[in-house]
A and B are shown apart, each in its own frame.
Chain A
Amino acid sequence: MWTYIIRRTLLLIPIFLIISVVVFSLIHMVPGDPIDSLLGPGSIASDRVELTKLYGLDKSLPVQYVVWMKNILNGDMGQSIIEKQPVLDMILYNTPFTLRLGLASLVISFVLGIFLGVISAAAKNTFIDYISMIIALLGVTVPAFWLGLILMLIFSVMLGWFPVSGSGSFQALVLPAITVGLGGAGLIARITRVSMLEMFNKDFVLLLYAKGLSKPAMIVKHIFRNALMPVITIIGLRLGWIMGGAVTIEIVFSRPGIGNMLLSALYRRDYPVVQASLLVLTMAVIIGAFIADILYAYADPRVRDLYK
Chain B
Amino acid sequence: MSFLKVKDLQVEFRVDKKMIKPIEGVSFQMQKGEVLGMVGETGSGKSLTAHAIVGLSTLAGGVIGGSIKFEGQDLLSLSEKEMQSIRGAQIAFIPQNPMTSLDPVYRVGDQIIEALRQHVKISKREAKLQVIEVMARLNIPNPERVFHQYPHQLSGGLKQRIVIAIGVCTNPKLLVADEPTTALDVTVQAQIIRLFKEMTVERGISLFLITHDLGVIAQVCDKVAVMYAGNMVEFGSIEALFKNPRHPYTKALLDCIPTIGMAKGSLSAIYGSVPSSGVYPSGCRYHPRCPYADEQCRKTMPPLLEVEVENWVACYKYYGKK
Contacts and interface: CB of A to CB of B under 8 A. Distances in A.
Interface stretch (A42-50, A127-135, A203-211, A250-258): A203-211
A213 interface: yes
The residue in A210, A213, A302 that gathers the most chain B C-beta atoms within 10 A of its C-beta is A210
Interface stretch (B32-40, B97-105, B290-298, B304-312): B97-105
B295 to A, nearest CB: 43
Contacts of A214: 81, 84
B84 A213 contact: yes
Chain B interface secondary structure, helix, strand, loop or mixed?
A: mixed
B302 interface: no
A212 B89 contact: yes
A207 to B, nearest CB: 5
Contacts of A305: 150, 152-153
A206 B105 contact: no
Contact of B119 (A206, A212, A222): A212
Contacts of B89: 212
Given A202-B100, A204-B103, A226-B105, A211 B88 contact: yes
Please classify how large the interface on chain A is, using the bins under 10, 10 to 19, 20 to 34, 35 or more. Answer: 20 to 34
A41 interface: no
Contact of A301 (B86, B152, B163): B152
Interface SS of chain A: helix
A210 B103 contact: no
A225 B101 contact: no
Interface in B69-92: 81, 84-89, 92
A226 B150 contact: no
A166 B54 CA distance: 62
A209 B91 CA distance: 12
B2 interface: no
A210 B88 contact: yes
Contacts of B84: 212-214
Residue of A212, A213, A300 with most partner-chain B CB within 10 A:
A212
B166 interface: yes
B95 A301 contact: no
Contacts of B105: 225-226, 299-301
A96 to B, nearest CB: 37
B104 A301 contact: yes
B93 interface: yes
Contact of B118 (A211, A225, A226, A301): A211
Contacts of B115: 211-212
B114 interface: yes
19 contacts: A204-B100, A207-B95, A207-B163, A208-B103, A210-B56, A210-B94, A211-B115, A211-B166, A212-B84, A212-B89, A212-B119, A213-B88, A225-B105, A226-B105, A300-B104, A300-B105, A301-B104, A302-B152, A305-B152
Interface of B: 54, 56, 59, 81, 84-89, 92-97, 100-106, 114-115, 118-119, 150, 152-153, 163, 166-167
Which 5 pairs from chain A and chain B are nearest by CB? A212-B88, A210-B93, A203-B100, A301-B150, A212-B87
Given A204-B103, A301-B104, 15 more contacts: A203-B95, A203-B100, A207-B102, A210-B167, A211-B166, A212-B84, A212-B85, A212-B89, A212-B115, A213-B114, A226-B104, A300-B104, A305-B150, A305-B152, A305-B153
